[in-house]
Structure 1
Amino acid sequence: MTDPHDPERLRALEERLAKAKEAQKPKTSRGEEHFSQANMAWRMVTELVAGLLIGFGMGFGLDRLLGTSPIFLMLFIGFGLAAGVKTMMRTAKEIEKEQVKAANGATEDDNAGTPARDERD
């Protein structure tokens, strides 16, 4: 009969356990967090609403402070909307870059010397 404390068998068992644990680990792409598209959509909506709320607050505050009609309120709501849309577009570009990079398997270092499509136009 074999010895229950056989070091060779224990080492083989530990190797098999390590391989099984490695196979069970979740796979991440280059250590980056993966966000679902729903999370990205909520991020963009939040950016738009934040821009509107900040513009509303500034306009309302200026109108109250200066005693004017809602001129500043309307003006700053427009500025907040523009800022929110600009931030959303920037986020959309970042998402597009990440998707293209993931699809091509390229790193930022590979594309560092080439200008982006928008910069050339």
Structure 2
Amino acid sequence: MSSYLVVQLYCTPAQADSVRTGAIGELARFPEFAGSRTELAPKAQGDHRLHLDWAEEHPGLVPGERTYFSLEMICPVDVPESVLRSAEDGVIEWIDKTFNDRPDDIAEVHWASYAEIRQGA
């Protein structure tokens, strides 16, 4: 079995890289994630709702270089569900604390996440 934590982002490339770094720091707090790898990649299409939410909150503003990214944190072992959820919460709290704490700021990072344990092939 392996454990996956995926965060889809709608943000700038610099913000996505910052989130990747923050996520690595959050995962380091959990010894169960030793040996995990973190991959960040732009996505041609993502959850269009993330863009719509951003556009609705910033009427008349152009999103600039915002695009969709997938941040995948993959652990080769079965991480207990409670630890997986705690890690997911930590990453999301880091994003919100770092980018989303001011309602009038256009620098928000919109996100969607899921975490799961997968059976090996």
TM-score above 0.5, yes or no: no
Q: Please say which structure displays the higher CA radius of gyration.
A: 1
Q: Which has the higher contact order (CA 8 A, sep 6+)?
A: 2
Higher strand share: 2
Higher helix share: 1
TM-score when normalising by structure 2? 0.30
TM-score when normalising by structure 1? 0.30
